[in-house]
Amino acid sequence: MYKGTKRKIDDTMEESEIHKANGSKIDGSLTCHLCKVNLPNEISMRQHLQGHKHRKLASAEGEKERIEKKCGLFIRGYPSQFPKDAVLEYFYPFGKIVFVQFKPSFLLLDYEDPAVAANVINRVHELGGHRLTIQYRQPRRQAPKVPDQDDVSADVIQTLKDISNFDDQVTILLQKIQPSTNEQFPKYNKVCEDLYRILERAFPYCRIHPFGSTITGLGINNSDVDVFISGVKQGDQDVPYLIWAKRRLVQSRLFTNVIVIPHAKIPILKCVHVATGLSCDINMRNMLGVCNSNLINYYLSLDPKLRKLMIVLKFWARTHKITGQNHLFTNYSLNLMLIFFLQHAPFCIPSVLRLQRNPQFFNNQDGWNGGFEPLSFRNPQLIELSLLQLLEMFFDFYIKFDYGINIICPYLGKPLKKQQFKHPESLPDCYFIYKSYVAATGQHLKVDTAICIQDPFEHIKTATPIVSSTTLETFINLCRLGKKFCEEKRGPILFKLLTETPPSTNSLTVIKSESSKFVIPMRPSLKYIEEKYKTIAERHNAWFKSVTKFTTMVLKDILKFEVSEINTPVSNSKHMKAKGQKDVHDNLNELGEIRFKCNCKLNLWQARKSTAKANKPEVKQSIVEKEIAITEQICGSIAGAMPKDDVIKFEICFQFCADPPTTEIHIKSIAAYKNSFKSFITFFIAKLPAWFKAFEQEQCDS
């Protein structure tokens, strides 16, 4: 009886025959010609021939040989419910079968003798009342292997190192990473033609709509082709139609690696077009994706430099790994960020609202207006400024943007407060479609994110729903570094933009053995501060105060230090706390820095890891509660053994830096027992920033 979905039949050979076929002696050793390896003796050869790698290669080689000899058959047409054993029993009498593989809708079957296969293929066959279609097997067609993107990018970037002119650097970059339009568009057309030819037999009114970088001209080598197919789906269910399309694509043999991803937000069918090697993402829902691509294409056409600028930003973001999946930006969100930047002075390119004023261009897509009038636009400053100047201004714009309070809104061409979307009645009248949608569904634009970029057409949707605070911080720091390089005006600026990264803001800088410093960066989108304070200066002041209070609390309550504030002498920039004056934390601009003297008698940092493993809280604890519990457990184990002398004494200084907003913490040793200061510093610099980040997240979530 036949068991399983794949089986090799009568394909075993005596070991001596395998040895004879694959092994020969050279200088006393044995060589496997198939795997191209030398083996020292007979035992090693036997082990090698039984190995997975050799068996896999031997199987592939045998399959290729059988196909070339016309021993293999491709059989389909039998009922899907027909028993597999019964199918095999029908074909057994014709001759010796050496290979069988059942697939969902067809069977691969190889005979040992090509004459037997020819006999089978020349007959008419029926099973279960269905006539079978039998053809010779064809060699497997695989998509061309795509080079590793990181290797390609590294080679491209190295070519920019010795070029001093920025425009020349960009030209060379585009030549290296962008496919030739004359070569690529025929490939895109071929993909769309083949898709239409496969589907139009069953759906004569279907239409193929390419979108994304295919039509915006922002494609980089090996970019996917995004396609929306209309005229196929009926009703709200996408997945059954995608599965149906998958069967047609597989049967056509024009596409390979065909996979349906049903649980994506927008279900898609992924495949590879065999003739061109292009990867394809197909959906049957999102016509707004086509509308968005048309909009981006319009904006980039306003000046020839803009398409180049967007490709540079796209490659820059990809090189620094801030675009992609898993809490990163998308290329689409970067497109919208460039458009939003250009909608501000001095360029003032049209907002989407302005493009949609003409009702003749209304295009209803699931209740949203996906149409716009492509207005003529000309701005002298946009024409006159160089590509490098535009890039520098882009970086500067997003260094200064207030992500915590505002959303990026290309629809209006100006920022809107996040708070307004929680109270739709406060939004401008032009948001009447959004207001109606909220009233009907109760859903709101998701604004409680690190960065919110509103889709220009589908106003309920954000282009950055899961970008993490860490990714946003990295983006801002890269913009800050990018602006610095652009200000240099000469040299391999693009090479530096693509290769150099901001220094780690949490890294330890050891000045000397008894002194160290590190910084804690201010994260964007800190809700617990932004909801209370309106101006940037007030937020900086409140955040600096939060850092100092949290750090002193860690020293006092978790690590059991005695902490006393050191009054700083009055100077032009530093003022000590005096009678009748505000608290020392309340006037950041005048303060400059805050100092404390710390000392302790117990080393409570070295045993924390092992104690934490043993301490399993039954209820969820905050980061402070968790660490205090660990401290209490350590102290309980050494009760009655308190030392008389201090283990460590040091001075800690807090200083605020506005650009970028960070708190610099400088610790200087006064006295320490043996290596206590070094071990404390190593622990403190690793733990404090992580604890403070967790503390801030708890504050934002509460």
* Sole residue written with tokens 């057309």: 189
Amino acid occupying residue 298:
Y
**Amino acid 511: pLDDT:** 36
Q: List the CATH number of the domain containing 112.
A: 3.30.70.330
Read off the pLDDT of residues 102-137 as tens digits, 9 standing for 90 and up: 887 889 999 999 999 999 999 999 988 889 999 999
* This model's pTM is above 0.75: no
Read off the pLDDT of residues 219-250 as tens digits, 9 standing for 90 and up: 887 778 999 999 988 878 889 999 999 999 99
**Amino acid 43: pLDDT:** 57
Q: Residues 30, 45: contact at Cβ < 8 Å? A: yes
| Residue 611 included in any domain | yes
* Average pLDDT over every residue of 46-60: 76
Of 476, 499, 526, which residue sits at a domain end? 476
The secondary structure element, H or E, covering residue 108 is strand 106-111
> 184 and 114 in one domain?
no
> 444 and 343 in one domain?
yes
Read off the pLDDT of residues 450-484 as tens digits, 9 standing for 90 and up: 899 999 999 999 999 889 888 998 999 999 999 99
**Amino acid 41: pLDDT:** 58
Provide the 3-class DSSP secondary structure of residue 315: helix
Q: Greater confidence, 173 or 673?
A: 173
**Measured distance CA(217)–CA(322) in Å, rounded:** 21
CA angle centred on 244, ends 242 and 248, rounded to 5°: 110
> 388 and 431 in one domain?
yes
> 537 and 634 in one domain?
yes
Residue 506 predicted with pLDDT over 90: no
- Tell me the range of 488-502, 631-645, 673-687 where mean pLDDT is highest: 488-502
From the CA atom positions of the chain, what is the Rg in Å?
A: 34
Residue 570 predicted with pLDDT over 60: no
In angstroms, what CA-CA distances link 514 with 361, 506, 564, 597?
Answer: 70, 19, 20, 15
Q: Is 292 exposed, middle or buried (0-12, 13-18, 19+ CB in 10 A)?
A: buried
> 317 and 281 in one domain?
no
| Residue 117 included in any domain | yes
Q: List the CATH number of the domain containing 215.
A: 3.30.460.10
Q: Residues 444, 438: contact at Cβ < 8 Å? A: yes
| Residue 627 included in any domain | yes
Read off the pLDDT of residues 349-397 as tens digits, 9 standing for 90 and up: 999 999 999 999 999 998 999 999 999 999 999 999 999 999 999 999 9
**Measured distance CA(487)–CA(557) in Å, rounded:** 47
Q: Residues 588, 541: contact at Cβ < 8 Å? A: yes
**Cβ count near 511 (within 10 Å):** 11
Q: Residues 479, 398: contact at Cβ < 8 Å? A: yes
* Average pLDDT over every residue of 568-585: 41
**Measured distance CA(355)–CA(372) in Å, rounded:** 5
> 439 and 559 in one domain?
no
Q: Residues 548, 585: contact at Cβ < 8 Å? A: yes
**Measured distance CA(480)–CA(397) in Å, rounded:** 10
> 516 and 654 in one domain?
yes
* Sole residue written with tokens 């990026």: 408
Per-residue confidence band for 618, with pLDDT thresholds at 50, 70 and 90: low
In angstroms, what CA-CA distances link 74 with 106, 120, 528, 649?
Answer: 7, 11, 66, 82
Q: Quote the domain boundaries for residue 469.
A: 304-476
**Amino acid 324: pLDDT:** 85
Q: Greater confidence, 402 or 145?
A: 402
Least reliable range by pLDDT among 80-94, 284-298, 583-597, 671-685: 583-597
> 592 and 680 in one domain?
yes
Residue 57 predicted with pLDDT over 70: yes
Mean pLDDT of the chain: 84
Per-residue confidence band for 196, with pLDDT thresholds at 50, 70 and 90: very high
CA angle centred on 282, ends 276 and 287, rounded to 5°: 125
> 280 and 309 in one domain?
no
Provide the 3-class DSSP secondary structure of residue 128: coil
> 114 and 16 in one domain?
yes
| Residue 166 included in any domain | no
| Residue 546 included in any domain | yes
| Residue 127 included in any domain | yes
**Cβ count near 533 (within 10 Å):** 15
| Residue 109 included in any domain | yes
Q: Which residues contact 451 (CB under 8 A, 6 or more apart)?
A: 403, 408, 464, 467, 472, 524, 525
Q: Which residues contact 482 (CB under 8 A, 6 or more apart)?
A: 316, 391, 392, 395, 497
CA atoms within 13 Å, Cβ hemisphere of 691: 21
**Amino acid 31: pLDDT:** 75
* Sole residue written with tokens 């907002």: 351
> 461 and 334 in one domain?
yes
Instruction: Give me the number of domains the chain comprises.
Output: 4
> 224 and 124 in one domain?
no
- Tell me the range of 201-205, 409-413, 508-512, 601-605 where mean pLDDT is highest: 409-413
* Sole residue written with tokens 């999102």: 286
| Residue 493 included in any domain | no
Q: Residues 96, 49: contact at Cβ < 8 Å? A: no
Please name which of 350, 331, 242 lies closest in space to residue 289, comparing C-alpha atoms: 331
Q: Greater confidence, 701 or 194?
A: 194
**Measured distance CA(424)–CA(35) in Å, rounded:** 68
